[in-house]
Amino acid sequence: MEKLKLLIIQPQKIFLETEFDDIIIPGKDGDFGVFYGHTPFISVIRPGILEIYNNSEVTKCAIHDGYVTVENNIVTILCEVVEKADEIDKTRAEAAKERAEKRIKSNQDEVDFRRAEIALRKAIARIAIS
Amino acid sequence: MGNIRDIKSRIGSIRNTRQITNAMKMVAAAKLRKAQQGIIKARPYADNINHMLATIKFKSRETDLKIFVQPEPTAKCALVVVTADRGLCGSFNSFVIKAALQYLKDHPNTDLFCIGKKGTDIFKKKDVKIIKSYTGLFNEMNFSVSLDIASDLKHHFFSNEYDHIEVIYNEFKSVIQQNIVQKQVLPIPDIKVLEGVSLLDYLYEPGEEEVIEELTNKYINVEIWRILLESSAAEQGTRMTAMDSATDNASDLIESLTLQYNMVRQAAITNEIIEIASGAEAQNQ
């Protein structure tokens, strides 16, 4: 199978540059996969887990935001926060999860609620892969 | 000619000053290197976003969005001035403040936002009203510091408080050259599409508007981040050259004072010898 190229770019650095067979990306409207020959495509990313399959290896990253473009079998992800499993502080993530849950339960106005929901998603993604 | 002890203590104090300026020069050089690396590392991200925005703007049907509509010359403006937190960096702060005051004079319908302690202090002294000031950002330069500023500016812009947002800052050219630059951050200025770049038709998910919104968000964040990095590099560059010439001056001063010290000392010795000699002469007679 032919390989695709992946570039994950952060404002501070290039996070990852690699080749892969298949990738699962948490899009705003749901997770989607990209194989070789995908049509040109832009999507916004929601907080979740990014899974990169290469040969039989899987790399998982927690991603918080950003957008992805697919063009000529090059997948480019631009995001501000993305972490590999060994970079995550699990206790901090768990504390953040509790905080977010409390905020959701206290049922404040809509803006706060949405923010808490995003924070909760981020925390869950972090905990899931760490 | 001064007292021999005075000269000696002056030499001592100048030597101390030279040590400090020299140390500051070294520190500035190290920080400059860090800021320069930051600029280089931010480039792929910023270039990519600019390219995407250019592509989308070229293809988009949503050209009447606020972020794409260029403002009238008399429109309400938010001016962000980027200064340093510390002094001792030559003309770095004074030039950018001068440029800002000129802009305020030419565009009365403008509110001022200030980054950096020096600028905040000076504008306060001059009784210029500051809407918000951000200080102490440059000690610990990381991406999150730019997010606060960016989110404030976005809020002001999208709530229609301001029609455009301008930033005046020092752009880093080289260690000895910094340019004062005025840049429109919002609405997004006309971006040139790089030559040889494919303008493909993309599928948008969820929708074109959401994608543009997310892109705009990211664009402002990274734009502010880049400006902070540029300004920080320029600051360290000017500080380095300022401290370098201060160290040189101190060395020159020490040299000439040492010469003076030796002359005074010599004169004192000659005097003493003359006294002894004439005393002995008097006794002989």
Q: Coil, strand, or helix at residue B177? A: strand
Interface test with B, best of A42, A75, A81, A111 (most B CBs within 10 A): A42
* Residues 6 or more apart whose Cβ sits within 8 Å of residue A88: A62, A126, A129, A130
- How far apart, in whole angstroms, are the C-alpha atoms of residue B278 and residue B204? 105
Q: What pLDDT sits at residue B239?
A: 92
- How far apart, in whole angstroms, are the C-alpha atoms of residue A50 and residue A58? 10
- Residue B78 forms part of a structural domain: yes
- How far apart, in whole angstroms, are the C-alpha atoms of residue B131 and residue A115? 26
Q: Which of A9, A40, A66 sits opposite B203 (nearest CB)?
A: A40
Q: Which of A29, A40, A76 sits opposite B206 (nearest CB)?
A: A29
Give how many domains chain B has, as a whole number. 1
Is the Cβ pair B206, A28 closer than 8 Å?
A: yes
Confidence of residue B193 (pLDDT cuts 50, 70, 90): low
CATH class for the region spanning A88-129? mainly alpha
Which of chain B's residues have a Cβ under 8 Å away from the Cβ of A13? Answer: 41
* Sequence ranges of the domains in chain A: 4-85, 88-129
- Does the structure show a pLDDT above 60 at B226? yes
What confidence tens digit (pLDDT) does each residue in A64-75 have?
888 898 988 899
Confidence of residue B13 (pLDDT cuts 50, 70, 90): very high
What confidence tens digit (pLDDT) does each residue in B87-115 have?
888 888 999 999 999 999 998 888 999 99
- Residue B218 forms part of a structural domain: yes
The distance of B204 to chain A (nearest Cα, Å) reads 5
Torsion of CA A84, A89, A93, A94, to 10 degrees: 130
Q: What pLDDT sits at residue B192?
A: 64
- Residue B29 forms part of a structural domain: no
Confidence of residue B117 (pLDDT cuts 50, 70, 90): very high
Confidence of residue B169 (pLDDT cuts 50, 70, 90): very high
Q: What pLDDT sits at residue A30?
A: 87
Q: What pLDDT sits at residue B61?
A: 65
Q: What pLDDT sits at residue B203?
A: 79
Query: For residue B114, how many C-alpha atoms fall within 13 Å in the half-sphere facing its CB?
Result: 25
Query: For residue B53, how many C-alpha atoms fall within 13 Å in the half-sphere facing its CB?
Result: 24
Which of chain A's residues have a Cβ under 8 Å away from the Cβ of B49? Answer: 78
Q: Coil, strand, or helix at residue A61? A: strand
Confidence of residue B17 (pLDDT cuts 50, 70, 90): very high
Q: What pLDDT sits at residue B259?
A: 94
Interface test with B, best of A34, A39, A70, A80 (most B CBs within 10 A): A80
Which has more pLDDT, B177 or B83? B83
- How far apart, in whole angstroms, are the C-alpha atoms of residue B203 and residue A109? 34
- CATH number for the region A4-85 comes to 2.60.15.10
Domain that holds residue B128: 34-239
Q: Report yes or no: B255 and B10 within 8 Å, Cβ to Cβ.
A: no
Is the Cβ pair B210, A44 closer than 8 Å?
A: yes
Mean pLDDT, chain A cut into blocks of 10 residues (130 residues total): 89 90 90 89 90 89 89 90 84 85 77 78 83
- Residue B70 forms part of a structural domain: yes
Residue carrying structure tokens 């993305």: A82
Which of chain A's residues have a Cβ under 8 Å away from the Cβ of B200? Answer: 40, 71
Confidence of residue B52 (pLDDT cuts 50, 70, 90): confident
- Residue B256 forms part of a structural domain: no
- How far apart, in whole angstroms, are the C-alpha atoms of residue A22 and residue A31? 13
Scan residues 70-129 of A and list those with Cβ closer than 8 Å to B. Answer: 71-72, 76, 78, 80
- Residue B109 forms part of a structural domain: yes
CATH number of the domain at B84, please: 3.40.1380.10
Which of chain A's residues have a Cβ under 8 Å away from the Cβ of B205? Answer: 27-29, 32, 41-44
